[in-house]
Amino acid sequence: MTLVDRPGEPTTFGQPQRAAGVEAQLLRGDGVHAADTIIDHGCFGNLVVRAASVRGTYARYESGPREDDYTMGAAGDGRWLVVALADGVTSASASHLAATLAVRTAVQQVQRQLDEDGLGVDLHGVFQSAAYQLRRSAEPLLEADGLDCTADHIAALFATTLLVAIVPAAGADRRVRVARVGDSNAWTLGDGGWTPLLAPKAGGAPLASSAVRALPRLPEAVEVIEVDVAPGRTLVLASDGVTDPFGPTFDGDVARCLAREWHPELPAPLEFARQLSFRGQSWDDDRTAIAITGIGLPAT
């Protein structure tokens, strides 16, 4: 069962959370403001894009920062849209800073390679650069606290997943390149529902933070896939706060609701962000999604 409390309020699935209807905490007593919600929208080449990142219930009512982040950039004289999404690991004390640094570094590295080469991108090298920047940025913060810059100390300060996609924005090209470390995923959405492009979590169940692969620790092999997005399908990059509620077969109430709203056309930008703010059960994680239509279609 779904219901909307009042216009503009998030949709509630099942039993409302205890925090539903309670005003969110803007700041901690000694905190510096960080945006609760960010929204982007518009056209780029062939593409139509909606993007948003919202604080989850836990962060909103414990006055914590939004630990998800994303950014986008153009590359190759407008031939590609580069998108990066990161989900900071809650157990790391400055994971929100790690997420922001990771997405910015990744997009800049992909842009540089595409602008110089125009063809190949060393995605493993992109993730190496992001991991290096996290370690480098952690060092002065740890030293200020009198801590050695060990791998464990760095990971306790900065830890984040990272998902990167290179999307063709011009011509008939439909081939999308996706790479990740961690448990965020890229999906395609069509009339038949959701299809993950990379291996989803087992059973759709959340993973403990200790089990999540996260930068700056870099696995031997970054997960990379190239896929042709079928005509008319929507490409969606999303953090697990969005997709964990989909259920093990990706057809739960949240999955069906977002599928109706995001395909075949994308909603208005503010409505997109409202839809990401759904409530219910124990779904209290931050939510970030970038939805893209028009891949391989002529610009209108």
Mind listing the domains of the chain with CATH numbers? 35-293 (3.60.40.10)
Question: Does 270 score more than 60 pLDDT?
Answer: yes
What strands, in cross-sheet order, belong to the sheet with 80-87? 68-75, 80-87, 162-168, 175-181, 223-228
Q: Can you give the pTM of this predicted structure? A: 0.92
Cα–Cα separations (whole angstroms), residue 162 to 101, 224, 286: 10, 12, 15
Question: Does 85 score more than 90 pLDDT?
Answer: yes
* Percent with pLDDT over 70 in the chain: 88
Task: Give residue 244's pLDDT.
Answer: 95
Question: Does 1 score more than 60 pLDDT?
Answer: no
Show the beta-strand stretches assigned E in 197-286.
223-228, 234-238
Least confident of 28-37, 172-181, 257-266, 288-297: 28-37
- Mean pLDDT, residues 4-27 taken together: 69
Task: Give residue 204's pLDDT.
Answer: 47
Give tens-digit pLDDT for 145-154: 999 999 999 9
- Report residue 224 as tokens: 């990379």
Task: Give residue 32's pLDDT.
Answer: 65
